[in-house]
Amino acid sequence: MLEEKTTRSFAIGAAAGLTAGLAANAVRKIFVQAPTMMAGEWDAALAAEHQATLAIFDQIEKTEDKHKTRRSILLTQLKHALAKHAIEEENAVYAALRTHGQVAEADHLNNDHGYVKQYLFELSAMATDHPQFLPKVADFRTMIEQHMREEEEKIFPKLRGLLSDEENADLTKAMNQEGLKIA
Ligand SMILES: [Fe+2]
Ligand SMILES: [Fe+2]
């Protein structure tokens, strides 16, 4: 009887712990997504993420070969920021581009994302004190800045113009939903 009671209270305790854990995780996710949500509509929010990503590049470029731990922490941050950003764009914005006739543009941007992942893969495989680490980071930055400029100056403004106010608002919502999955 006592054993049964103990088992039951343990199960209730575990369930409460799980619920609290899930709630804490939901709060953490909202916290991670908050800067993007507060940056405004989808295109402004993605531009803010571009700036935050470039700030991580700045930090990496300030390191020296001896700062191995710092480089690996910053590389992890860069990977997380870019994984979330890619899901937001590919699952919402690039899909909206195709729906509105911008198929070649969406496919081109999606192709670039493949090379972003390639750079991250190659940097992860490299010793963080390798003399080619910073030159590879610099090549990566040149490539990703070009991609960001194309999005911000050409392709995203065009999509914004093709969508109604309501569709733009829906896209902002969809983009944040995608971000919360990864946050
Ligand atoms: Fe992109
Ligand atoms: Fe982007």
Q: What is the pLDDT of residue 35?
A: 82
Ligand having the closest approach to the CA of 113 = 1
Q: What is the pLDDT of residue 3?
A: 67
pLDDT by residue for the chain (183 residues), tens only, comes to 666 666 677 777 777 888 888 888 888 888 888 788 877 899 999 999 999 999 999 999 999 999 999 999 999 999 999 999 999 999 999 999 999 999 999 999 999 999 999 999 999 999 999 999 999 999 999 999 999 999 999 999 999 999 999 999 999 999 999 999 989
Query: Cα(147) to centroid of ligand 2, in Å?
Result: 7
Which CATH code for domain 39-182?
1.20.120.520
- Phi and psi at residue 40, in whole multiples of 5°? 110, -145
Query: Cα(33) to centroid of ligand 1, in Å?
Result: 17
**Residues 59-92: b if buried by 16+ CB within 10 A, e if exposed:** ebeebeeeeeeebeebbebbbebbebbbbbbebb
Domain ranges, ordered by start, for the chain: 39-182
Q: What is the pLDDT of residue 36?
A: 81
Q: What is the pLDDT of residue 70?
A: 97
pTM: 0.86
The DSSP line for 39-72 is T-SHHHHHHHHHHHHHHHHHHHHT--TT-HHHHH
Tokens 């402004």, residue located: 44
What's the rounded Cα separation, in Å, for the pair 58 and 141?
10
Residue 97, both tokens: 């581009």
Query: Cα(24) to centroid of ligand 1, in Å?
Result: 30
Query: Cα(2) to centroid of ligand 1, in Å?
Result: 59
